[in-house]
Structure 1
Amino acid sequence: MADRPADPWRYSGDGISIALRVTPRGGRDDIDGIEKLADGRSVVKVRVRAIADGGEANRAVTELLAKALRVPKASVRILSGTTSRLKQVAVGGDPKSLGDALRALTARNSEQKD
């Protein structure tokens, strides 16, 4: 996998900001790895069972990320894209630990798909 996309998250002093592509009604709640979009940006692929109605999918996304990254739900918030499949999400906590956890989750799940 030589053409691995760049990490779709940025580090800040109080956590990380993650670019996501969300699939509502995706059959299960899961992080599917990293994908490179047509415009060259990298995103973390996330699927949730919830429908995109009344904020249900957004709530499921924040809960999934909180559980996967082992942070309180209150530490995960959607910065932009609340009505879009492409979202920017902030996760509060130790940036290095969060980045390492995301790298492990996305690498493991990308390998399962290959």
Structure 2
Amino acid sequence: MNTIESGKTAAITSYILGIGVFIAMSMNAEDKNAFASFHIRQALGLFLTFISLGLIVNNFDSLMISIPMWIFVFMLWSYGMLTAVKGETKPVPLLGELYQKWFKSIS
């Protein structure tokens, strides 16, 4: 429980816009907190997914494609933020396990 409470601020911060990931990484640099690291990896993955999908969807210039992408990313982001606030380490659906694997060097 102490690990969760001490890492909760960095975990929640990581979900705030794109810059929050980097702020949380600096907050977690000295006292490597496993809870914060988990959520930093999730938030970084979500941010990169958002950028990647945005670059692809931008080529179509269609609201019929853009709106579902925004909803998809928002739902995953909301899930990640809620688990951080509740003190849980549940990966986001569909991609969360991959984020943990891809960014395992971030601790």
Q: TM-score, normalised by structure 2?
A: 0.30
Q: Which has the higher helix share?
A: 2
More strand by percentage: 1
Structure of higher CA gyration radius: 2
